[in-house]
Amino acid sequence: MTTHTPLPIELGEEVAAALAAGDPIVALESNVITHGLPYPDNALTARKVEDAVRAGGAVPATIGIDAGRIIVGMDERDIDRFAATPGIPKVSSRDLPVILARGGTGATTVASSLVAAELAGITFFSSAGIGGVHRGAETTMDISSDLVQFTRSKVAVVCAGAKNILDLKLTLEFLETHCVPLITYRADDFPAFYCMSSGLRAPHRIDDEDVIARTVDFHWSLGGAGGVVIATPPREEDAIDRDEAEAAIEQALVTARRDGVTGNAITKYLMRAVDELTGGRTAEANMAVLISTAEAGGRLAAAYARHVRDLVPVP
Amino acid sequence: MTTHTPLPIELGEEVAAALAAGDPIVALESNVITHGLPYPDNALTARKVEDAVRAGGAVPATIGIDAGRIIVGMDERDIDRFAATPGIPKVSSRDLPVILARGGTGATTVASSLVAAELAGITFFSSAGIGGVHRGAETTMDISSDLVQFTRSKVAVVCAGAKNILDLKLTLEFLETHCVPLITYRADDFPAFYCMSSGLRAPHRIDDEDVIARTVDFHWSLGGAGGVVIATPPREEDAIDRDEAEAAIEQALVTARRDGVTGNAITKYLMRAVDELTGGRTAEANMAVLISTAEAGGRLAAAYARHVRDLVPVP
Amino acid sequence: MTTHTPLPIELGEEVAAALAAGDPIVALESNVITHGLPYPDNALTARKVEDAVRAGGAVPATIGIDAGRIIVGMDERDIDRFAATPGIPKVSSRDLPVILARGGTGATTVASSLVAAELAGITFFSSAGIGGVHRGAETTMDISSDLVQFTRSKVAVVCAGAKNILDLKLTLEFLETHCVPLITYRADDFPAFYCMSSGLRAPHRIDDEDVIARTVDFHWSLGGAGGVVIATPPREEDAIDRDEAEAAIEQALVTARRDGVTGNAITKYLMRAVDELTGGRTAEANMAVLISTAEAGGRLAAAYARHVRDLVPVP
Ligand SMILES: [Mn+2]
Ligand SMILES: [Mn+2]
Ligand SMILES: [Mn+2]
């Protein structure tokens, strides 16, 4: 295979400049804009997330697929258009070639954002809650492709753990089996999205950003497949109590079963149901953790950029 | 590792010429010849499958292991010998190095054919029914290595879905988790081998061969691991009714349990039992879907070859 | 990513000389020293294991992480220090970058030893019992990262099968699904650590070391991911009767459940409990199989080195 279609990647101006200068960048998904909150909350949150990346010390690069082109660094108008347009499909990594071949438009998930980030040369990505192993996956085998993408894309993933509607214990087992390095930043336990803790102890807590930067770099020097997952909890004042969240999830699972909701529809269904059950408090916590995670992502990307700059280039 | 044994690959004359000219080629497995039908039905079917690839517009390359050499493009005499010789072992991708080291002979599965096709530079492969997740795999963990090979070999796989004795829902989950692009060609649902539909909706239907060619090419441009699965149903006049097939499979599973058949023996056992239960109609449908899939494979390989020819070479 | 931290790998003198000369080397893990037997039995066994590698015809390279450096070929003083120091953490492949970034010390598992061996250019590794699929993994998803590392590191693994506290049937299924070549050397069945047989027939028995060397080489020539697993049983006079071992394991599993032992603590707990139940006979058999496997590893590494020397270099 010596020939292939040139990839239709377009970099935002600021992203292109940061890449050329070796400045830190944090990639962001657009699926959270189109499939998370209603308009205009989604557009406002996307803007706050970008501001948080900047506050952390990096340039945000929100990623989306627009008329057959991969946009890395959507501008404010792009984001607003995505936020206001209903029906933009969710595009995971395996859907990417199809959507490009069709000249289509779509919102990137964690997995597809990692593919685009790596192609653009961006080494950090941030998302509040990654996908994982679904509750009941022992029989349904329903496991998010995010986890497999972590073993393929050389991008560090900063998150507040996995969405708590998932089975977090099985999610950690999967990451361990597949040799994905897992660090917690400023926490002992693996966080649970908008909850401070999943109740599961994580293998390595590192609070020093420089040590995290060296860990990421060593992972790649060692020939490690894919990326490193860096989980950091929400701010205490934003968090939802774990028992309260768990009770709401249990109840939502009951109604999901009653309503026959399964497969790809389950994530959105559960998140909405839990939000109703908590009187909208989880949606607010969700917005808060998106922002605080993005800020941590910016800080860690900045530390990594400093680390790389200090290295003697290896030819 | 700077030294290694030169690989004993031998290209058939027509295949070598097609590779040199950039003409479309469709790789084919030989396990279907040795482990599918009885002689001489198997030899006749193999010839019809090759004819169907040509009718689709491509050169067939049936793959087998003969006395320690990988033959890519077996000639009519090779095929007839494989068809008539009992006891030729089935060689999956992980068996390949063993058989070569022993100078042995064997029939290639989907997985090992993909390895050989990629080494030879062939980008399309066709088979009626790929392997998948076995029924009961929640406890047996019996999952075909075909599915993992799809994440490793850069070859597009044209098929009529997975063998319907498998758990097709779990097979689709596995492909999704492992980020394997899945397209249906001329169908909305994932087909079920000699049945038109598995009852499971596939993520992307594409009927335009040029869009499929671009999808395959984009998958590789994006750095995607392995191949793309393109599923297309049998012709309506050849298909078996899904309820009828399912009833026969359920019954065959009962007798398999009674007879204590498990492991690698189960696929062949079930396919034979189902055939008896349907009065030989599934075996006939099996031959028909092998042929119609091969023709679709030829058509899609030809579209891909045209697409690659039109591209400006990227150095 | 054009820059990265130079990897802190230090080769033992003898290992460096052997690498330069193309002489055979067998990599060894250090976790068996720190987490296996009590001091000084562990130090004594480590020395006997190294002697066995030499008796087989190769240079031993015990691997450990010492103050932020990967030592490939620990000397006698290093090994004794590791053996005598309590609390040295177990470092799997995904922990490696963290421990290096922290300048820490740790004992390598099978998985992390494979990473280090490949980086150093060593193609053979020996361990008595690899990790695998845990009993109950149908619901716990507890599967050793060793198995996934086998699909990534281009190192041949000589072992006496997997630890028999695991589910060996599921372990073989996992290896098959993930296309990991599996050979038995001098046995028909997959061995079960210090038992001659697991009762499970292995796919390929090869007793000729030259054929094994060619198999390993062909696996890599074919573009095969990762390594080859070569399982060889303990010496008959060292082995424990399978029924006796199985009864002890069943009993240990009951007390483990009673004591609430789960997760990463289970392996060590079960191995100790089984040892007590057999009056120390399994610990002795464990030492014996470590030694006999290492000798087989030396012999096979030597055959492979001869094979590579005889090849005409491919540029
Ligand atoms: Mn899913
Ligand atoms: Mn199987
Ligand atoms: Mn485990």
Tens-digit pLDDT profile for residues B71-94: 999 999 999 999 999 999 999 999
What's the pTM?
A: 0.97
| Amino acid B253: pLDDT | 94
**Residue C112: helix, strand or coil by DSSP?**
helix
Report, as an integer, the average pLDDT of B16-30: 98
Its ipTM equals: 0.96
How buried is residue B54: exposed, middle or buried, by Cβ count under 10 Å (0-12/13-18/19+)?
middle
Quick check: is A250 catalytic?
A: no
What does the pLDDT read at residue A1? 45
Chains that touch A (3 or more CB pairs under 8 A): B, C
For residues C204 and B98, give the distance between their C-alpha atoms in angstroms, rounded to a whole number: 8
Residue C57 has pLDDT above 80, yes or no: yes
- pLDDT at position C6 is 83
Alpha-carbon separation of residue B230 from B177, B204, C114, C281 (angstroms): 17, 10, 36, 56
> Mutate which of C1, C4, C171 to disrupt the A interface (most A C-beta within 10 Å)?
C4
Helix (H) or strand (E) holding B272: helix B266-277
State the pLDDT at residue C158.
Answer: 98
Q: Report d(CA B135, CA C95) in Å as an integer.
A: 36
pLDDT tens by residue, C118-159: 999 999 999 999 999 999 999 999 999 999 999 999 999 999
Q: What confidence score (pLDDT) does residue C3 get?
A: 53
Q: Is the confidence at residue B314, as pLDDT, over 70?
A: no
Which of C101, C139, C144 is the closest to A218 by Cβ? C101
Query: Which residue of the set A48, A50, A154, A163 is catalytic?
Result: A163
pLDDT of C112 strictly over 70: yes
Q: Would you state the pLDDT for residue B265?
A: 85
Of the candidates C94, C307, C108, the residue with the CA atom closest to the CA atom of residue C220 = C307
- What is the third-level CATH fold of B9-309? Indigoidine synthase fold (3.40.1790)
**Which are the catalytic amino acids of B?**
29, 163
If you measure from the C-alpha of residue A148 to the centroid of ligand 1, how many angstroms do you get, rounded to a whole number?
Answer: 12
Element (H, E) at C2: none
The residues of C whose Cβ lies within 8 A of any Cβ of B are: 123, 133, 137-138, 154, 170, 173-174, 176-183, 203-204, 206, 211-212, 214-225, 228, 308, 311-314
Contact A170 C141 (CB under 8 A): yes
Q: If you average pLDDT over residues C83-107, what whole number do you get?
A: 97
pLDDT tens profile B265-294: 888 899 889 999 999 999 999 999 999 999
Q: Do C97 and A222 make contact, defined as CB atoms within 8 angstroms?
A: yes
Give the residues of chain A that fall short of pLDDT 50. Answer: 1-2
Select the more confidently predicted residue: B272 or C234: C234
pLDDT above 80 (res B3): no
pLDDT of residue C310: 86
Per-residue pLDDT, C1: 45
Closest residue, chain B, to A91 (C-alpha): B203
> Is residue C258 classed exposed, middle or buried when 0-12, 13-18 and 19+ CB atoms within 10 A define those classes?
exposed
Residues 6+ apart with CB under 8 A from C122: C15, C19, C25, C26, C27, C61, C72, C155
Has B211 been labeled as part of a binding site?
no
**Share above pLDDT 70 across residues of chain C, in percent, rounded to a whole number:** 97
d(CA C50, CA C52): 5
Residue of C nearest to A312 (CA): C3
